Amino acid sequence: MIVGIDLGTTNSLVAYFTEEGPKIIPNRLGKNLTPSVVSVDEEGNVYVGETARERMSLYPSSVAQTFKRSMGTERTYNLSGHLFKPEELSSMVLRALKEDAEVYLGEEVTEAVISVPAYFDDKRRKATKRAGELAGLKVERMISEPTAAAVAYGLYDRNQDTRFLVFDLGGGTFDVSVLELYHNILEVRAVAGDNYLGGEDFTQEMAKLFLQKTKLQVSALSEKEQVRLLKAAEKAKRAINDESSVSMSFLYKEELKEAVITAKEYEEACEELLMKIREPVKKSLADAGLKLSDIDEVLLIGGATRLSIVRDFLIRLFRKFPDTKLNPDETVALGAAVQAAMKERREEVKEVILTDVCSFTLGTEVVVEYDEGKFEDGRFCPIIERNTVIPASHTERLYTARDNQTSVRVRVLQGESRFARNNLYLGELEIEVPKGPKGSESVDVTYTYDINSLLEVEVRVVSTGITKKMIIKGQDNQMTEEEIKKRMEELAYLKIQPRDFEENRLVLLRAERMYEEALGERRQRLDRYITAFEAALKRGDHDEIRETREELNDVLEDEDD
């Protein structure tokens, strides 16, 4: 069984294809969204999703979130003394989604099509693939999030030619893609974006406003208080969508701090973020050789596009109302499920050719002559430029730079800087050349890049015909199958919490968090219901546990309101 997965910065989803079309698979708590949050306690118990997010308020140092932003880096997260890379934390989210899908479908899930931001470079894409493999999933195909959104909207099934722009503002990443549909070909024309811009940044702006109004310094807040502040800021951010102002409060050193924030104040605070949105839009259109007036439709995906200040800004920018008929949180997962069905060659799905583009320029390091007889090394020579439709193959002829040079080293780089040192190193190969005066020997360097982010590098010495090849699969920090298997065994000591108990743990964690945030009679009331629920858990009577859990849940909902 192949499923489609949207591995998001803030939330993740899994979907599958049915005769009626793609459908989201609910998680163990009956919800479509699984927070991309992981927590590990001192005994090695792993909590994923909403339970992990609740633990953040109580045990902030044991919880990791927004780790998607660090995919493909060497950053590590220390959770209760256990060290994890971003892809390992992502694998735990993927494993939870896999288990939920297997229980819901009643069969084993062996493979997944996973979506990635269009602006993810090679290292981040390969880290995502490794995360899937660590979760026990075969990942032969990834789909860019804007392409998945286009597929979910059914644009591949339209008759007329259409140009459209997909605006994807998620929790932590931002993508803009320009796509064109003609006949049965869905072609990505250009992509641009920012891997460090998303809904989380709009939450931070709300928190900063609150601190200014209450004259508090973030450095004065404890870890728990910082978590509470962001939680309150997220709630206020959502509430201000429909209001001219919002009242925000949180508990600071046993004192309830409150402030009223107006929609105008919030929009002014977010002005810099909104300006950051504009640049990738302009860049993607310029790379596609199009004007805004050439775009037939604008699609909004990603939870942060629900923000009224973002939507109002986009209406002014695009001078048209975007298409929002699908749930922006679910669109990508639905599209990934359609792509999974295409991979399985399901009869219900109309076959469509999906083309993508190279998100970043691929090239090599060269020496250039900037003045007669003066040379500068460390410069970048593009071979396959960004937004080239893939699969693609380009060749560049390079010449020896020194007298009696005996070899040429080709360093494979990815990026947009003129200087090699500023671009991402992917790998290298070296080939011997006959001695001679500088410039007398040459090599043809051919890059061939396919839709699965595999890069073949071929170097041929023109005078001798000798050729060397290599496949770049994200060699930097690339794990072999044996290494993946070994790491899976190493992670086996971690005890993923049983599905059956998660609802009870979640209610208890939520209750504990709200108890810490409450004062006076509210705290005493919570204590009574928490004690009754804990006593029922100890006695082990399932009916009593369910009854006291529902009573405690009602109290918590009442307190939240």
Q: How many CB atoms lie within 10 A of CB 332?
A: 34
Residues 349, 342: contact at Cβ < 8 Å?
Answer: yes
CB atoms within 10 A of CB 432: 13
Name 71's Cβ contacts closer than 8 Å, sequence gap at least 6: 86, 87, 90, 120, 123, 124, 127, 128, 131
Residues classed as catalytic: 6, 68, 145, 168
Neighbours of 85 (CB within 10 A): 23
Report helix angle 50-58 to 223-239, nearest 10.
130
CA 475 – CA 126 distance, rounded (Å):
9
Q: Which of 426, 360, 383 is nearest to 118 (CA)?
A: 360
The CA distance from 299 to 150, in Å, is: 8
Query: How far is Cα 385 from Cα 362, in angstroms, rounded to an integer?
Result: 6
Query: Which ranges of 78-165 would DSSP assign to H, the alpha helix?
Result: 86-105, 122-134, 145-152
Radius of gyration, CA atoms only, the chain = 26
Q: Which residues of 151-185 are buried (b: 16+ CB within 10 A; e: fewer)?
A: bbbebbeeeeebbbbbbbbbbbbbbbbbbbbeeee
Nearest in space to 346 (alpha carbons), one of 12, 113, 95, 102: 113
In contact, 7 and 128? CB cutoff 8 Å: yes
**Is the CB of residue 418 less than 8 Å from the CB of residue 380?**
yes
DSSP 72: T
CB 33 within 8 A of CB 88: no
What crossing angle do the helices spanning 499-517 and 520-539 adopt, rounded to 10°? 160
Whether the ω angle into residue 26 lies within 30 degrees of 0, i.e. cis, is no
In this structure, are strands 442-449 and 392-399 parallel, antiparallel, or unpaired?
antiparallel
CA dihedral 396, 400, 405, 409 (to 10 degrees): -30
Helix (H/G/I), strand (E/B), else coil: 259: strand
> Is the distance from CB of 229 to CB of 221 less than 8 angstroms?
yes
Q: What DSSP character marks residue 294?
A: G
